[in-house]
Amino acid sequence: MVTRAVTQLYDDVLRPSGVRVTQFSILATIGRMREANLKQLEDTLAIDQTTLTRSLNLLERDGLIERSPHPDGRVKAMRLASKGARVLEIARPLWAQAQDQDAQRRLAHLLHLAVEKRRLRRKRQHMPARSTPRRAGPRTPKRHTGG
């Protein structure tokens, strides 16, 4: 649930760039590496191959990346297309904005937890002490065994 909320935050902030958070991560990684194959992206991004392949197909379809044969002929190399580089220029400041918002949200949550912990500690200090210790488990009536 938290992961979904964070993803939604990033997707909302990145919307003006036209890419989602996963697509941004892929574009940024390819941009940083200049050229990457599927295995390199899979290892770097820790995304399963099915999700990564689907995202790469969409990025290629939209003209954001280009695939070309690698010199060894066995794999394809991915590079940013000029359109992908432009999208990345738009998305990077939006990404920074999303990170700021996420950090503020997390800080607010930590502050809330600290205040709640303090409130509970004070409440516990003002509770009267029990004179008899609490028994563990449910009480069971004693059975009289006749004999």
Residue 85 has pLDDT above 70, yes or no: yes
What is the CATH classification number for the domain harbouring 24?
1.10.10.10
Structural domain total, the chain: 1
Q: Are 42 and 130 in contact (CB under 8 A)?
A: no
Residue type for position 13: V
24-66 pLDDT per residue, tens: 889 999 999 998 888 889 989 888 889 999 999 999 999 999 9
Q: Residue 70's domain spans which residues?
A: 2-124
Reference 20, options 71, 50, 54, 43; nearest CA is 54
Check residue 94 and give its pLDDT: 82
Read off the pLDDT band of 80 (50, 70, 90).
very high
Read off the pLDDT band of 137 (50, 70, 90).
low
For residue 139, tell me if it sits in a domain.
Answer: no
For residue 85, tell me if it sits in a domain.
Answer: yes
Q: Are 75 and 37 in contact (CB under 8 A)?
A: yes
